[in-house]
């Protein structure tokens, strides 16, 4: 795993984004259902969730585009919606970036320069070396990946304090993905940029995010630091001497998931390593194997817990 910027910043940093009890529904369907969330300065927050979990809605609320029905959304204590002085410090990159019709990178840059007071022309020009896109070509003729690069380029030149990105990895090639990842780390390290990324691409999130939230059905299921999450959830392969032992274990530890393969059971168990080892040790199982979980496994098991699991397919 890469060393990400998050680990460098010490804990107890100031809170940049604070969301409390936010709720939003569209035509009677609840998209975001009473979500609370805190993002600290200089962190890269990963927002995971099933399709239709309400991630995009939440991000648009954060960007001050959508007004929530209830709850508060604040950046450094100030509400965001309809507050230009706050919004000029937040940039939102949607899952498919939008520009003015007929515009080029140059004309968009000119526009952003006069709308975002913190626009940094030097930064914009420097980033030109990274992205190497034709600034006079119409953006509508760019491929999806190039448009995303352009959006990223323009956004960074606005010098935001908060960058909100919806599915930023779609359509980017691996080289560009790494470039952007590095740029993000650089910005986070240099000027304490706070980033919020929503994705269902777990590998990408795993690489860069510190704190992670998993959403399902408009609600936040799990919210914790990815490293803590990994330290806190384990996969155990075990063969007990007596079937009753398994039931006993269930009452002592929080078992998220259980699969039986012959005499060997596969359990996903919450708790730290020592405690789990000790708990199992009492029953002296024939087999005991403790493995770390991948983010993907965590996601699937958490979702299974929330009633969103992979159903066996008959093909």
Partner 1 sequence: MTRARCFFNLALIRQNFRQYGWIGIIYTLGLIFAVPLQMFMTGNPSLFNQKVTSLFQLGDGMQGMLIVLIPLSAGLMLFRYLQVKASADLMHSLPLRREHLLTSHLGSGIVLVLVPVWLCAAITAITRPWTGDLYDFTGKDIWTWAIAVSVLSIFLFCFSVFVGICTGQTVLQGIASFVLLILPYMLMQLISYYFSLYLYGYPYGIYTNSIRSDLWSPLVHLFSVSNQAFEVRELCVYVGLTVVVVALSYLLYRKRHVEMAGQAIAFTYFNPLFKAGVMLCCMLIAGNYFSINMSGRLVWTFGGYAIGAVVGYILSEMVIRKTWHIMNRKIPLDFAIYTFLLSLLLYIPVSGWTGYEARVPDEGEITQVYAGSLYNLYTQKESSTNPYEAYSPFSKVDPFSGDKDYIRAVQKLHSTLSVIRPAVPTGKSFYKDSRVRSMSIVYRLTNGHTLTRQYQVPVVGFEPELRAIMETAGYKKSEYVLSQLEHDVKTMNISTREGVVVLTHSAEINEFKALLRQEILDMSYADQIGDDVPLADVDIPITMEDRNVISFYSYSILPSYHRLLNWLADKGYSDKIMITAKNIASVEIAAFEPKILQGDHSYYYDPEQYLAIARKQNRSLVTQDKDQITDVLKYQKKYVIRKGTYLVKKNYEDGSPEYVLMETDDLSPELRKLLR
Which is nearer to partner 1, 26 or 286 (by Cβ)? 26
| Phi, psi (degrees; rounded to nearest 5) at 176 | -65, -35
Contact 150, 124 (CB under 8 A): no
Q: What share of the chain is helix, strand, coil (3-state, %, to 5)?
A: 35, 30, 35
Residues pairing with 291 in the sheet: 235
Q: Pull the structure tokens for residue 260.
A: 């039986």
Of 167 and 302, the one with the shorter C-beta distance to partner 1 is: 167
Question: What distance in Å separates the CA atoms of residue 181 and residue 50, rounded to the nearest whole number?
Answer: 23
Q: Which is nearer to partner 1, 14 or 96 (CB)?
A: 96
Identify which range of 36-44, 80-88, 182-190, 217-225 contacts partner 1 by CB under 8 A: 80-88
Among 29, 85, 243, 274, binds partner 1 (CB under 8 A): 85
**Contacts (CB under 8 A) with partner 1, residues 139-158:** none
Strands 219-225 and 162-166: unpaired
Residues 92-121 binding partner 1 (CB under 8 A) are: 92, 94, 96, 98-102, 107, 110-111, 114-116
Q: Which is nearer to partner 1, 62 or 269 (CB)?
A: 62
**Does residue 180 contact residue 152 with C-beta atoms inside 8 Å?**
yes
> Applying CB under 8 A, does 195 fall inside the site for partner 1?
no
**Residue 88 CB, nearest approach to partner 1 (Å):** 4
Q: How far is the CB of 181 from partner 1 (least distance, A)?
A: 23
Closest contact distance (angstroms) between CB of 84 and partner 1 is 4
Which residue stretch of 86-94, 139-147, 193-201, 288-296 sits at the interface with partner 1 (rule: CB under 8 A)?
86-94
263 interacts with partner 1 by CB under 8 A: no
> Cα-atom radius of gyration of the chain, to the nearest Å?
22
Residue 124 binds to partner 1 (criterion: CB under 8 A): no
Is 29 an interacting residue with respect to partner 1 (CB under 8 A)?
A: no
Which 43-62 positions form the footprint of partner 1 (CB under 8 A)?
60
Mark the segment that binds partner 1 (CB under 8 A) among 4-12, 83-91, 227-235, 237-245: 83-91
Smallest distance from partner 1 to CB 61, Å: 11
Buried b (16+ CB within 10 A) or exposed e, 79-88: ebeeeeebbb
Joined tokens for residue 198: 């929503």
Cα(152)–Cα(171) distance, integer angstroms: 13
Out of 2, 26, 36, 272, the residue judged to bind partner 1 by CB under 8 A: 26
**Per this entry, what is the length of the chain?**
315
DSSP 8-state assignment for residue 104: B
Give the span between the Cα atoms of 130 and 125, in whole angstroms. 10
| Closer residue to partner 1, CB minimum distance, 94 or 285 | 94
DSSP conformation class of 99: -
Number of residues in contact with partner 1 under rule CB under 8 A: 29
Nearest distance from C-beta of residue 278 to partner 1, angstroms: 51
Nearest to 165 by CA among 134, 193, 125, 142: 193
Q: Is beta strand 162-166 parallel, antiparallel or unpaired with respect to 194-198?
A: parallel
Binding site for partner 1 (CB under 8 A): 26, 60, 63-67, 82, 84-88, 90-92, 94, 96, 98-102, 107, 110-111, 114-116
């Amino acid at each position: 795993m890469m060393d990400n910027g998050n680990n460098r910043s010490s804990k107890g940093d100031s809170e940049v984004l604070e969301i409390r009890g936010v709720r939003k529904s569209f035509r009677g369907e609840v998209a975001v259902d009473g979500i609370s969330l805190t993002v600290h300065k200089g962190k890269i927050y990963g927002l995971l969730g099933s399709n239709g979990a309400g991630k995009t809605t939440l991000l648009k609320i954060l960007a001050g585009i959508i007004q929530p029905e209830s709850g508060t959304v604040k950046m450094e204590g100030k509400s965001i919606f309809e507050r230009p002085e706050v919004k000029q410090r937040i940039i939102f990159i949607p899952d498919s970036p939008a520009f003015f019709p007929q515009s080029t990178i140059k004309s968009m840059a000119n526009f952003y320069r006069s709308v975002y007071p913190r626009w940094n022309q030097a930064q914009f020009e420097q980033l030109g070396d990274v992205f190497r896109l034709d600034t006079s070509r119409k953006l509508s003729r760019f491929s999806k990946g190039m448009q995303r690069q352009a959006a990223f380029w323009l956004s960074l030149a606005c010098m935001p304090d908060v960058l909100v990105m919806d599915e930023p990895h779609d359509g980017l090639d691996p080289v560009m993905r790494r470039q952007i990842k590095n740029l993000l780390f650089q910005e986070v390290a240099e000027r304490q940029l706070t980033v919020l990324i929503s994705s269902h691409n777990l590998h990408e999130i795993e690489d860069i995010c510190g704190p992670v939230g998993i959403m399902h059905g408009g609600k936040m299921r799990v919210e914790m630091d990815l490293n803590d999450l990994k330290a806190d959830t384990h996969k155990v392969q075990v063969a007990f001497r007596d079937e009753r032992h398994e039931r006993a274990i269930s009452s002592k530890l929080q078992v998220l998931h259980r699969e039986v393969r012959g005499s060997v059971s596969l359990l996903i168990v919450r708790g730290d390593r020592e405690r789990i080892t000790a708990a199992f040790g009492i029953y002296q199982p024939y087999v005991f194997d403790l493995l770390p979980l991948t983010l993907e496994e965590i996601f699937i098991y958490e979702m299974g817990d929330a009633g969103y699991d992979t159903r066996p397919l008959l093909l």
